[in-house]
Amino acid sequence: MDLLTLLLLAVGLSMDAFAVAICKGLAMQKLTWKKCCIVGGWFGGFQALMPFTGYVLGIQFEKYINVIAPWIAFVLLGFIGANMIREALGEDEECETDTLGVKEMFMMAVATSIDALAVGVTFACVPVVIAANAGGMFNTLTGCLMIGATTFILSVAGVRVGNVFGAKYKNRAEIAGGVILVLLGIKILLEHYGILG
């Protein structure tokens, strides 16, 4: 997985957090940078931690799944992306409150980053290559930190967007994130069979 693919993956994964951050911003009467950073820190931190955890779990089974690795990546990314699109098109969405308590933020951070755990498993199947001379663990850790940083930035922006514009962009963000993940799954499969690059 190259740098561009990783950046697209980071944006796609962060769309759930972005959508929830919009709702948080919508519910806030008084917006401060501290509140934005709290939301971004929770979501970004878990989006970095979950794929790394998935990677560590995935490398335990790497030797058994190498043959079907591109298919695993395709199925996981396709399923996650399709689920994001389905949720965005659903009508029973509810917005969050402005509470930033540990218990609520922890639950939301886990809920918005659980998909990243599955993506981390794909890192064991389709290795992250950011620095060619670096080891797999360094590249994967760097990739996970990039996902976390991207989510942090987009979550902070989401709180602001929600506070200023309301929930207008929430569903569009989730649909865009879902489409990106589905397309990345297809790209990995096509590259494996030499159809792309």
The model's confidence at residue 106, banded by pLDDT at 50, 70 and 90, is very high
**Cα–Cα distance between 171 and 38 in angstroms, integer?**
23
* DSSP letter (8 states) at residue 130: S
More confident of the two residues 190 and 48: 48
Given this model, what pLDDT does residue 158 score?
Answer: 92
* DSSP letter (8 states) at residue 61: T
Q: Is the pLDDT of residue 93 over 60?
A: no
Average pLDDT over residues 153-181: 85
C-alpha pair distances (Å), 12 with each of 30, 165, 191: 29, 22, 19
Helices (H), the chain: 3-27, 33-59, 62-65, 69-89, 102-125, 136-165, 170-192
Given this model, what pLDDT does residue 96 score?
Answer: 59
For residue 160, the tally of other CB atoms under 10 A from its CB is 17
Given this model, what pLDDT does residue 197 score?
Answer: 58
Average pLDDT over residues 153-159: 95
For residue 186, the tally of other CB atoms under 10 A from its CB is 16
More confident of the two residues 77 and 93: 77
* DSSP letter (8 states) at residue 91: S
